[in-house]
Amino acid sequence: MPSRDWAVWGGVAAVLTVLVGFSVASAVGSAAASSPSATPAVTVTFTEKGLPSGTEWWVNVQGNTTNTTSTAATLTISEPAGKYVFTVGSAAAYYEAKGGSFKVGKKALSVKVSFKVPKGKTTVYEEGLPAKSKWCIDVTNVTGPFCATAGAKIHFTIAAGVYNYTLTTTAVGYWGPYGVTAREYMGPGVLFSVAFINT
């Protein structure tokens, strides 16, 4: 027959077990109640301007493995609250746009993107002409012609792209390359030469 002391200690142990179990359950319940739910995603709408109508363009948000694309003026993504960095691009040759950053809060957000063809200085220099002769380059659809004396460079500002151009000179018997009309990429920072030939 169990002793009285054993019965007392057994009762104490049972009470402690119940109390510990209640405390753990209460702690778990409180933690679950205070734990925040997952942050909801917020709509971010990008709107572009400057591209030819129907051109495909895209946005890539840092951390995402794929681009979000559109052929309309807008595209929409969803992101949870936080700060994000993005880049943009398009299928239109020579068009550029700057990326940036945006911060998502509780409300829907709009981000504007501006595409444009960069403009800058193109430099052309000649080879082969006799001293003091004059030469000119006339670029299709660009106000010109641009002229200089032999040995001098010609500079002009132009939007990035591929252009047809013609060369002329006052030096009798000299012709530019490719006959009458040539084709060259021109734009910011471009430098190219033309060689005149004495025929």
Q: Is 15 left (phi over 0), alpha (psi -120 to 50) or beta?
A: alpha
Q: Residue 64: pLDDT band by 50, 70, 90 thresholds?
A: confident
Q: Is 7 left (phi over 0), alpha (psi -120 to 50) or beta?
A: alpha
Residue 34: count other Cβ atoms within 10 Å of its Cβ: 7
- In this prediction, residues 57-84 reach a mean pLDDT of 94
Do residues 55 and 64 make contact, with C-beta atoms less than 8 angstroms apart? no
Specify which of 32-36, 37-41, 195-199 reaches the highest per-range mean pLDDT: 195-199
What stretch of H or E contains 23? helix 4-34
Q: Residue 97: pLDDT band by 50, 70, 90 thresholds?
A: very high
Predicted structure pTM score: 0.70
Cis peptide before 80 (omega within 30 of 0): no
- pLDDT tens by residue, 99-157: 999 999 999 999 999 999 999 999 999 999 999 999 999 999 999 899 999 999 999 99
Taking 80 as the threshold, does the pLDDT of residue 35 lie above it?
no
Half-sphere exposure of 191 (CA within 13 A, CB side): 3
Tell me where in the chain the CATH 2.60.40.1120 domain(s) lie: 42-114, 119-198
Domain 42-114, CATH 2.60.40.1120 — does that match? yes
Taking 80 as the threshold, does the pLDDT of residue 79 lie above it?
yes
Long-range contacts of 145-153 (CB under 8 A, 24+ apart): 150/126, 151/126, 152/125, 153/123, 153/124, 153/125
Taking 90 as the threshold, does the pLDDT of residue 18 lie above it?
no
User: If you average pLDDT over every residue of the chain, what do you get?
Assistant: 84
Could you tell me which of 121, 112, 167 has the C-alpha nearest to residue 140?
167
Q: How far is CA 83 from the centre of its chain?
A: 17
Distance CA 128, CA 137 (A): 15
- 119-198: what fold? Immunoglobulin-like (2.60.40)
Q: Residue 192: pLDDT band by 50, 70, 90 thresholds?
A: very high
- pLDDT tens by residue, 154-180: 999 999 999 999 999 999 999 887 666
